[in-house]
Chain A
Amino acid sequence: MWRDLKSVFWAIPKGLSITFRYLFRKSVTQQYPKNKPVLEDRYRGLHYLTRYDDNSERCVCCGLCAAACPVDCIYMEPAETEDGIRYAKIYEINELRCIFCGMCEEACPEEAIFLGHEFEFAAYERDDFIYTKEMLLANYDNIEKERVAKNIKPLIRKERQEFKTPAAPLGH
């Protein structure tokens, strides 16, 4: 009976000692939303559509991102400007369906679509998660442009069709 009393008596201090030990340790809890998490460079968050240096959209609506997407969350309709440049008349990503795998980013031949660092885009309605082209461009213009400038996902081509210079006449 005395042995039982001893274990009962020391049980609480033994448990509390663990608590006290951890009380003065540094906590690993992040105080979100006061402290935002530090994300790696290649973190895959909300998409953004990039622009060239002259502010024209990069996306030519080729359809490769939609074809690469494993969950079919991208819908697009191409169109043509008066100068004969192909662009996306409609470009929508269903962010709820998206699994943020980054296949679209890898497939894009024009460096047009990337996944950025935004993850705070909660909304109340399902419809608000269909991100249109304007919203994705706005994401780039307002937020991601600065991050890109810091070379987090650097863009290699600076202007449209750099490779398409006419050939100098040969042999003259």
Chain B
Amino acid sequence: MADFEKILFKNIDFPDQDKIDIYIKNGGYNALRKALDSMSPESVTEEVIKSGLRGRGGAGFPTGRKWTFLPKDSKRPVYLTVNADESEPGTFKDRELIEKDPHLVIEGTLLAAYAIKCGQAYIYIRGEFAFGARQLNKAIEEARAKGFLGKNILGKGVDIEIIVHRGGGAYICGEETALLTSLEGNQGYPRVKPPFPAISGLYSAPTIINNVETLSNIPYIINKGAEKFSAFGTAKSPGTKIFCLSGHINKPGNYELPMGIPLRELLYEYGGGIKDGRNLKAVIPGGSSVPLLTADKVDVRMDFESLAEAGTMLGSAGVIVIDETVCMVRAAYNLARFYQHESCGQCTPCRQGTYWILAILERIERGRGSLKDLDKLLEICENIEGNTICPLGDAATPSVKSTIHHFRDEYEYHITEQKCKVSMGPRFE
């Protein structure tokens, strides 16, 4: 376990890190000072582009490049929204950052707002994170008292306001256009793109949406420079990533490690190995919305390109570990329940397709499936993918498709024998 100076979790377990005095003592708000003193907004953006930082919310889009999509001559104000609606199953990294080191999030937000010349930033936090919202609000007030936030920050004539907005409990509001619609006060329905939020987003004004983890990287980039940041990780996926280990692992939790770390190392060295010494069956590497990896692929490196080559995605790096005691049909059923419940209901394929998938899987779980159902499920998935307004439709299908692809025998056993191949007890009486 090579120790290295962490970017995000450097002070995460320092006592009282959420208080501003401790944060400043540990080097906080230096980046903000440096940026406001000696850097122009354009040079902040340049630095972020040079660092190669990619979005940490799941899509992996280069952050600096996204900032350059803003129109230069817009009459409307520019908005920044921080996506703290962390609802992807298996992901809990933003929660730790918000609850334990909220000032890091605030500083990252302020730096990003400065870079894109935004005067009003919103942090959209999921409603269930009540404690996190309190932490952020407290941190904002502390920062305002010290002059880091509000009017005339540090006397440099820069005004930036941050408002924390709590969501109502919808996974769909993590999708950027649904987040904007919800922030405007409407029901969280995604919008058709184009127009992209960078051109017409919140209140039809140019808007940038970034994930909490992405913005938390920016103070380090400004303090230590882009080269030091991109020294970590790989060429195309620089920097570190917080991997959320969960499932049948001995030491579940958040682990900040450089990009490109092999999965085996993550699971066995950092995660402590599979619980109760059992055998690994499958790993979902990037939150439930990506295809799973079977146990023989455990040597793959955890970065954007390697996982894409392996047929899956890094996504939000919520690593869900599945051991040999899990019936894959049950796992697919649980995930199908999630997606059916969270679908917003706007477009036909997702609204009806997720319901149909859940209905078929439930029928199989109740012991009334037929072998034709498997091909039906695959066709339904094909009809959903690519035909929806937002990526929730594309996120609902990989769990079904990859479990059928890799574990078809378990499904057939379920259907013909009406019980789990791995003897998991009946789901319904």
Complex Cα–Cα for A170 and B362 (A): 8
> Is the C-beta of A154 less than 8 angstroms from some C-beta in chain B?
no
> Is the C-beta of B337 less than 8 angstroms from some C-beta in chain A?
yes
> Is the C-beta of A166 less than 8 angstroms from some C-beta in chain B?
no
Hey, which chain B residues are within 8 Å of A170, CB to CB? 337, 340, 355, 358-359, 362
> Is the C-beta of A15 less than 8 angstroms from some C-beta in chain B?
no
Interface string of B160-203 (1 = CB under 8 A from A): 00000000000000000000000000000000000000000000
Complex Cα–Cα for A50 and B358 (A): 39
> Is the C-beta of B66 less than 8 angstroms from some C-beta in chain A?
no
Hey, which chain B residues are within 8 Å of A171, CB to CB? 337, 340-341, 358, 362
Look across to chain B and name the residue whose beta carbon is closest to the beta carbon of A168.
B362
Interface string of A152-172 (1 = CB under 8 A from B): 000000000000000000110
Complex Cα–Cα for A170 and B340 (A): 10
Look across to chain A and name the residue whose beta carbon is closest to the beta carbon of B358.
A170
Complex Cα–Cα for A170 and B358 (A): 8
Complex Cα–Cα for A102 and B362 (A): 43
Interface string of B336-355 (1 = CB under 8 A from A): 01001100000000000001
Complex Cα–Cα for A167 and B37 (A): 64
- A1-41 residues at the B interface, CB under 8 angstroms: none
Look across to chain A and name the residue whose beta carbon is closest to the beta carbon of B359.
A170
A163 to chain B, nearest CB (A): 15
Query: Interface of A with B (CB < 8 Å)?
Result: 170-171
Instruction: Name 6 extra pairs, CB < 8 A, besides A170-B355, A170-B362, A171-B358.
Output: A170-B340, A170-B358, A170-B359, A171-B340, A171-B341, A171-B362
Listed from nearest, the 9 A-B pairs whose CB atoms lie closest are A171-B337, A170-B358, A170-B362, A170-B359, A171-B358, A170-B340, A171-B362, A171-B340, A171-B341
Query: Interface of B with A (CB < 8 Å)?
Result: 337, 340-341, 355, 358-359, 362
11 A–B contacts from the bound complex (CB under 8 Å): A170-B337, A170-B340, A170-B355, A170-B358, A170-B359, A170-B362, A171-B337, A171-B340, A171-B341, A171-B358, A171-B362
